[in-house]
Structures are given as structure tokens and as C-alpha cells.
Amino acid sequence: MEQPQDRDRRSGSFTAAGMRRGARAALGLTLGLIPFGLVIGMTADARGLSLLETLLMSALVFAGSSQVVALGLWQEPAPILAAALTCLVINLRLAPMGVALGPVLDRLHGFRLWGSLALLVDNAFAMMVTEMRAGRRDAGFMVGAALAMWVNWVLASGLGHVFASTIRLPPGHPVFFAASAALMSVLVPIWRGRSDLLPWILAGLLALLAHGGLGLGAPWPVLIGALGGAAAGAARDLRAAR
């Protein structure tokens, strides 16, 4: 007789236990993102945003790369349309991520589904992919991990804004690498072997070509690299399935 946990492994589930496990698993990554959040808060202060505006931006956008680019464009009057379009282009990479999570999300409805998608970020996605490869399909794991990161992100950006006048780091300071290091660390558990080399290398080369060769600024290198790598990975999986 089929057990409930077997059905959950096949079709996906959403449990409180999964949320707690995801939050615990994400603790290391959340600590690594604190310096990035501080930088966002300091940058927002330098651009004239109030503490409330900074907290709302981090809570509602919850995307470091998008916030960095938007704040880089910020001026008076605020270029709302340009900033919104730029953030949209950067975050288009989340669309194929949602598709990849289909086995986890396809049985969810209402608040659980849309809440899971609203909290989808790169690090939580990578952690959930690792769970899926281990045969576990509890969407609560991803939401718990993302919520832990969200709380940390909002608090860190708020602290960065509050202490912006006393925390003045020069450009190129090692702390600015913390966010990149945290993102790179999530690549380790999702590495599947040599078959991942082609899409990963292609994504990196396309991003470098867009930035250095074509002279394109943000967000195009991120988008071009993400879509190119995703296409190569999809083609590889289709060949393997045949």
C-alpha cells in the first residue's frame, strides 16, 4: 500500500517540518548575505531613500542584483519606468527556475503556490534542486529557506541604512565579495558532474562576451548568460531523455 510520504515524494507537498528544515539549512547562506544587505542599505541612504523606503524596497523586491541596479539608476526625479524595466529583465531568469521546480509546485494552489513563487530566489532555488535530486519534494523546505533569507535581508539592509554614516567602505573592499561568495557556494551541492560543464561554461562565456565584448551594461550580461546556460542545459537533458 502506498504510503503518504511516497506520494509526497512523487507529487510534491508543503509541510511545516519542511519549512523548519529549510530555515535551518539556510542559516549559513543567510550569514554570508549580511554584508551584501548592509551595502544595499548604505547605497540606499546615499541615494536619499529613507529608512522606511529602504525596508520596503528590500521586503518587496527581495533581489540583491535588481536593487543594486535600481539604486545605481536612482536620481531625482526617480526613473521609475527605467528601473522597473531593468529589474524585470534581470529577474526574467526566474521564469526557467519556476519551470524547473514544476515537480514540486505542480500540486500546490492558492497562497502556498504564489507565496512560494514570490519568495523564489537563486539561493533557495539551488537548495531546492538539491532536495529534488535527493528525492524530496517538500516545497516548504524552499519557502523556509527563503523566509530565513528574507528576514535577514530586510534586517541587514535596515542596519546598513541606519549606520551608513559610520560604515563607509572604499570601493573594492573585500566585504563586497561576500554576496558573490555566498552565491558561488550554492553551486557545490547542485554540481552533477561533467555533464554540467557545458551549460555552466557557456553561461559564463556569454555573460563575459555581453559585458566585455559587446560592452553591454547591466542587466543584459546576467540575462544573456542565464538564458544561454538554461538553453544548453535543456538541450542536454532532452538528448539524455531520448
Work out the percent of the chain whose per-residue pLDDT is above 70. Answer: 82
State the pLDDT at residue 6.
45
43/92 same-domain check: yes
198/174 same-domain check: no
Domain count, the chain: 2
Please state which of the ranges 58-62, 82-86, 98-102 shows the lowest mean pLDDT: 82-86
Residue 230 half-sphere exposure toward CB, CA atoms < 13 A = 15
Q: How many angstroms separate the CA atoms of 178 and 139, rounded?
A: 27
Question: Does residue 152 register a pLDDT over 90?
Answer: yes
Q: How many angstroms separate the CA atoms of 47 and 42, rounded?
A: 9
Question: Does residue 27 register a pLDDT over 80?
Answer: yes
21/137 same-domain check: yes
214/171 same-domain check: no
Claim: this prediction has a pTM higher than 0.85: no
Question: Does residue 36 register a pLDDT over 80?
Answer: yes
115/212 same-domain check: no
Residue 216 half-sphere exposure toward CB, CA atoms < 13 A = 16
202/95 same-domain check: no
Question: Does residue 219 register a pLDDT over 70?
Answer: no
Question: Does residue 121 register a pLDDT over 60?
Answer: yes
38/129 same-domain check: yes
141/121 same-domain check: yes
State the pLDDT at residue 10.
47
End-of-domain residue from the set 191, 210, 234: 191
111/196 same-domain check: no
**Set of cell numbers at residue 116:** 512560494
State the pLDDT at residue 224.
82
State the pLDDT at residue 19.
93
Nearest to 180, CA basis, from 22, 61, 64: 64
Question: Does residue 172 register a pLDDT over 70?
Answer: no
Q: CA dist 50 to 47, 56, 109, 113, Å?
A: 9, 10, 37, 32
196/90 same-domain check: no
207/166 same-domain check: no
What range defines the domain where residue 99 resides? 4-191
Q: Provide the pLDDT confidence category of residue 35 given band limits of 50, 70 and 90.
A: confident
91/186 same-domain check: yes
Please enumerate in sequence order all residues whose Cβ is within 8 A of that of 141, keeping only pairs 6 or more positions apart, or say none. Answer: 18, 19, 21, 22, 25, 127, 128, 131
Of 63-72, 101-110, 136-145, the range with the highest mean pLDDT is: 136-145
Q: How many angstroms separate the CA atoms of 135 and 155, rounded?
A: 34
Q: Is the peptide bond before 219 cis (omega within 30 degrees of 0)?
A: yes
Mean pLDDT within 190-195: 69
